[in-house]
Structure 1
Amino acid sequence: LRTTLLFLSPKDLYTAPDSCEGRCEEPYSEEDECHCNTECERYHNCCEDYYRHCQPEGFSSSWDAITDEDLLRISEQLYRADHNKARPTDIAINPQYQASPDETDDQEDRSPQPLYKYVNEELFSKPTYASFIKLLDNYQRVTGREEDVTAEELREQDNFLKEVMKTELMKKLFAFLHKKNRYGSEQEFVADLKEMWFGLYSRGDGEQDSSGFEHVFSGKAHTSGMGGAGQCRDGGLTPGSRLCLGEVKKGKVSGFHNWIRFYLLEKQGIVNYFSHNFNGPWDTYPDVLGLQFSWDGFYKEVGSAFIGCSPEFEFGLYTLCFIARPGRACHLSLGGYSLSIQTYPWTKTTYGNGKKYIATAYVISP
């Protein structure tokens, strides 16, 4: 008899911890980085290649899967349901210089005037706007500094969620996700929204210093040892209120994709608009711009943002894409025009039964 010895490499013996190759329908383990069973769609913690290895036919292989066609339909419905968006007369912008791709990183101010010529601030008295703006003063700017969440701030989070869930837009989103078996009740949906958006995790050295909401809507400045605590300045919309700066890291702005925050900080002289590299095809609001700007001395090379939408519109679309296409481009249709959103989950820590927080979400600009 002749014995043949097979020498297997580690690649043959072990599956990569972030892959579903050979792991489909593997029982859940909290030690896994990502998951490959059918429940991972519900908990938005699938490995990036889950659909390639475990669902060869793609999303359409399951009755409650969210297909590309589903996303086009529901995004148009949400677009039409944004009743709190700005009217054409509510906002006047002055985009000025359009930067070429090789000009976006040169940090040169090519637009002498502010981006916003006029905003009808009566918009900000609407309940979803008012509750959203109250959240903007709750964050430290610099990564690595622990966020101290007070009882009042927790109430403000709950109030924002309560107000957005009163809107037709968010009710349509919940109905869609409920039909797709992602949530059993509105209460479950709201509880998950609070965790995925407001749950704290560390972008620094272990401090609970960031959340999806702060990163996307408030922004973070990355200082890389440049110092400086998160700054707050007087000048909110109500007497005695303050607007705090968000996230900065390695001398650059991280996140910061919200038009309301941009307008309020530009009005105070804290944000300096430099140029834009993309202007969407919409002739009404919401529109989309890709922006270059300086934020209290820190630069943002490309900050894409909806212009003139309601808070619930952004919040709803980003939530939809995070649940349906986490870590991938999410292709939507708004008013007959194509638009894509990119989301990424935070992979280092989880909540609940292995669910992942939102790391970032933004409009993909060409």
Structure 2
Amino acid sequence: MRRGQTVNQELSNIFNELWKLDVNRLSPGTHYNISLQGKAGYIPQGSTSAVDHASFPLFTSVDEAKLNSITTYARFMKLLDNYERSTGVAERVTAEEVTENNSFLDAILETAVMKRAHRYLIGKGKSRSDQRRFKNQLNSMWFRLYHRDRNGGEDSSGFEHVFVGETKFGREIMGLHNWVQFYLQEKQEILDYKGYKARDNDVPNKDDHVLNVQFSWHGLVKPVASAFVGVSPEFEMAIFTILFLTSTEKTTTAVVNLDEYQLEMVVYRHGRSIGTAYPKLLSSNNRHV
């Protein structure tokens, strides 16, 4: 553990329970392969260029048949084209998109991961036992539209920011912390992986389930982004939902030990909804020489 970091043991315990319940997590080397290549350099926020330390994509292969065969992934992927990328442009939600949101929530609520998260939140007095009410909670905090850019209409949501990604004033990438979206955008040659980010000599491993990376997207550069790799959408929704609902702070940070990783979990509140949420990799024991 790094100096000055106090681990939240209660959150570590529940997150590790959810980790073990995540039967839909994909396995590196079996369901997908990544190529880490070079270490990315420092660039300031708002930069439009970066030295490319990775000649090839991060994902060299993903078993898309496996992705499409798992209901939560299949319904998750249908949501990724439902949003306007730029802030300041009001979102227009169609009836079909509402149906897709509901179908996704229905799917994740049937998983052991989300059922355990719900029981934990009931025990903390943060959710009712009625599943319809819990679904409404999830829908409000993740899918309710709000103003991110005050000059436009309701242009953002927690789900869009965290899982899909958006751009601000055409100058900055915001969010995009999901590995499936990263892979799909990379496959379409919209996203270009620039290399991994790591402290000191803490070089990542191709089997790691959490990475800090640098990439360009739609002509903009994200200096550093962190994301889980291989985990299911229900796992990410569950842990960030717990963080959000068990805190009233505008910015919630918690250091947890999860599997072989020490992470700083970050959730930013935007009123009654999620503004952003991501894991920041601090250290890992998953290292091989």
Q: Scaled by the length of structure 2, what TM-score is found?
A: 0.86
Matched with 2:156 is 210
Contact 1:271 1:296 in 2 (8 A): yes
Contact 1:252 1:298 in 2 (8 A): yes
Matched with 2:53 is 110
Matched with 1:359 is 275
Contact 2:161 2:275 in 1 (8 A): yes
Matched with 1:71 is 11
Could you give the per-residue CA deviations for residues 88-145 of structure 1, whole angstroms, max 9, x where no partner exists?
3111100111135568966211211111111111232110001100000100011111
Please show how residues 1-366 of structure 1 align to structure 2 within 5 Å. 68-88=8-28, 89-101=30-42, 107-125=50-68, 126-185=70-129, 186-204=131-149, 205-222=151-168, 224=169, 249=170, 251-278=171-198, 284=207, 287-325=209-247, 326=249, 327-347=251-271, 356-366=272-282
Cα RMSD for the two superposed structures: 2.1
Distance 1:200 1:81, change over 3 A: same
Q: Tell me the amino acid that sits aligned with residue 210 of structure 1.
A: S
Q: Tell me the amino acid that sits aligned with residue 252 of structure 2.
A: R
Q: Scaled by the length of structure 1, what TM-score is found?
A: 0.68
1:280 Cα deviation from its structure 2 partner? 8.0
1:303 Cα deviation from its structure 2 partner? 1.2
Where 2:212 maps in the other structure, the secondary structure is: strand
Where 2:197 maps in the other structure, the secondary structure is: strand
Could you give the per-residue CA deviations for residues 252-298 of structure 1, whole angstroms, max 9, x where no partner exists?
1110001001101111111111111037877746x111111111211
Q: Which has the higher contact order (CA 8 A, sep 6+)?
A: 2
Could you give the per-residue CA deviations for residues 289-345 of structure 1, whole angstroms, max 9, x where no partner exists?
111111121111111111111111111111111122441212222214322210111
Runs of 4+ in 1 over 4 A off after TM superposition: 100-106, 279-285
Where 1:328 maps in the other structure, the secondary structure is: strand
Contact 1:344 1:360 in 2 (8 A): yes
Could you give the per-residue CA deviations for residues 130-170 of structure 1, whole angstroms, max 9, x where no partner exists?
11000001000111111000111011111100000111000
Q: Work out which of the two has the higher radius of gyration on C-alpha atoms and give 1 or 2.
A: 1
Distance 1:271 1:281, change over 3 A: closer
Q: Distance in 2 between matches of 1:309 and 1:282?
A: 16
1:71 Cα deviation from its structure 2 partner? 0.8
Q: Distance in 2 between matches of 1:176 and 1:275?
A: 37
Q: Distance in 1 between matches of 2:232 and 2:190?
A: 23
Q: How many residues align?
A: 265
Distance 1:300 1:336, change over 3 A: closer
Q: Distance in 1 between matches of 2:93 and 2:221?
A: 27
